């Protein structure tokens, strides 16, 4: 369960942690420079409640917020600071997350104005190597490192930096970095809501199934899929699930694609759209669907456009 916007003291509520523990749901909690001081208390509370907790370092919005080629040095420094502080207090997290997304100002421009922002990675061609060093350094501290990635990187044809068009364009190197787990954000509510009507709910479900299969083929046993969204996040206007039934449907689709590791965005929505237990039970207990969703012309058209854009970015190098 991702937790980005919920205050740490609310995340640490005993009743909420008990509900997560009862369903064997782990936490992935955002840590920002101004919330770092409260993070040891949260990790200690999770340990006492028997809940595994991963930490999700995140910079200020002026620095891009998420990890990318533009801010790799600043992000690596903060991620190491988080790991060293918690480990030094005997409260090392169970996992560290590197959320690979373009700077938030670029994402806002893309989703709000439907206009591209300048490519990031061309200015920082050594970003992949720096992220490799970060992963190795955190691994040397005994921490497993997960990458959270946007679905666009699935359109890159080969696990080869020289051919990674979307990774290059977005400044989010994934291939060859050494992440232990790769979490692909396949949020049907965003696929539908930000498409301006091109992608229907049915087409978003078809894309969820197709991209989950592609992620599993691409990343193998390292694959995890993030579902959502239950609530808004950093942008403040993300399209969200209409009901818990849509979450249950998405879980059934992802499981039908053979995905065993799932996560949900985000805990704030689960808390603010009660009852909490209904969301958690739909997330945990829904079995695989008997039949995968049918492909659709709109889903195929959307994927074709994504692949063409990735090929264009690759060929520009």
Residue 1: closest CA among 235, 255, 224, 234: 224
Least confident residue range of 59-68, 152-161, 259-268? 152-161
Band (pLDDT 50/70/90 cuts) for residue 116 is: low
Residues 181-200 pLDDT 10s: 999 999 999 999 998 888 89
For residues 203 and 179, what is the distance between their CA atoms, to the nearest angstrom? 30
- Is the pLDDT score of 149 beyond 70? yes
Q: Which two tokens stand for residue 307?
A: 């692949």
Where are the chain's structural domains?
Answer: 2-315
- Of 119-123, 268-272, 293-297, least confident by mean pLDDT is 119-123
**Quick check: helix, strand or coil at residue 220?**
helix
Strand boundaries in the chain, DSSP class E = 2-3, 27-31, 53-57, 95-100, 145-149, 181-185, 223-228, 262-265
The first and second tokens of residue 48, run together, are 């006492």
With cut-offs at 50, 70 and 90, classify the pLDDT of residue 317.
low
Cα 202 from Cα 191, distance rounded (Å): 11
- Rounded to whole angstroms, what are the CA distances from 287 to 99, 240, 248, 275, 284? 28, 22, 9, 21, 9
Residue 38 pLDDT > 70, yes or no?
A: yes
Query: Residue 105: its pLDDT value, please?
Result: 93
Query: What per-residue confidence (pLDDT) applies to 121?
Result: 45
Q: What is the pLDDT of residues 46-93, one digit of tens each?
A: 999 999 999 999 999 999 999 999 999 999 999 999 999 999 999 999
For 196, left (φ over 0), alpha (ψ -120 to 50), or beta?
A: left
pLDDT tens per residue, range 9-29? 999 999 999 999 999 999 999
- Confidence class for position 312, pLDDT limits 50, 70, 90: low
Domain 2-315 CATH assignment equals 3.20.20.80: yes
Residue listed under structure tokens 């995890």: 224
| pLDDT for the residue 123 | 44
Question: Assign residue 258 a region: left if phi > 0, alpha if psi is -120 to 50, beta otherwise?
Answer: left
State pLDDT tens for residues 203-224.
999 999 999 999 999 999 999 9
pLDDT above 70 covers a percentage of the chain that reads 91
pLDDT at residue number 138: 97
Residue 75: C-alpha distances to residues 25, 82, 127, 164 (Å): 27, 11, 11, 22
At 191 the three-state DSSP class reads helix
Query: Which tokens is 74 given?
Result: 């600043």
SS (H, E, C) 76-115: HHHHHHHHHHHHHCCCCCCEEEEEECCCHHHHHHHHHHCC
Phi-psi region of 55 (alpha: psi -120 to 50; beta: other; left: phi over 0): beta
pLDDT on residue 143: 97
Which of these, 120, 106, 118, lies nearest to 235 by C-alpha position? 106
pTM higher than 0.95, yes or no? Answer: no
pLDDT value at position 216?
96
């Amino acid at each position: 369960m991702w937790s980005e916007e919920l205050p740490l003291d609310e995340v640490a509520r005993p009743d909420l942690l008990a509900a997560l523990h009862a369903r064997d749901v782990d936490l992935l909690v955002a840590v920002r420079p101004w919330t770092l001081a409260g993070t040891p208390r949260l990790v200690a509370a999770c340990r006492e409640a028997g809940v595994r907790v991963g930490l999700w370092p995140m910079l200020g919005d002026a620095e891009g917020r998420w990890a990318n080629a533009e801010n790799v040095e600043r992000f690596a420094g903060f991620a190491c600071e988080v790991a060293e502080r918690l480990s030094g207090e005997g409260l090392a997290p169970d996992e560290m997350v590197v959320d690979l997304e373009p700077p938030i100002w670029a994402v806002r421009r893309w989703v709000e104005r439907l206009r591209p922002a300048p490519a990031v990675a061309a200015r920082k061609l050594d970003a992949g190597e720096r992220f490799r060093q970060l992963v190795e350094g955190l691994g040397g501290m005994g921490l497993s490192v997960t990458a959270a990635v946007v679905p666009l990187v699935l359109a890159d044809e080969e696990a080869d930096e020289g051919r990674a068009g979307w990774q290059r364009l977005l400044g989010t190197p994934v291939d060859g970095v050494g992440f232990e787990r790769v979490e692909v954000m396949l949020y049907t509510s965003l696929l539908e809501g930000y498409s301006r009507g091109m992608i229907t709910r049915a087409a978003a479900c078809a894309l969820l199934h197709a991209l989950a299969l592609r992620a599993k083929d691409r990343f193998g046993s390292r694959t995890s899929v993030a579902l959502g969204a239950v609530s808004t996040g950093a942008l403040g206007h993300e399209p969200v699930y209409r009901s818990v039934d849509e979450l249950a449907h998405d879980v059934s689709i992802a499981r039908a694609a053979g995905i065993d590791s799932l996560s949900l965005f985000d805990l704030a929505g689960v808390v603010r759209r009660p009852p909490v237990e209904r969301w958690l039970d739909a997330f945990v207990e829904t079995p695989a669907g008997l039949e995968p969703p049918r492909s659709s012309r709109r889903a195929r058209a959307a994927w074709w456009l994504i692949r063409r854009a990735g090929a264009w970015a690759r060929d520009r190098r």
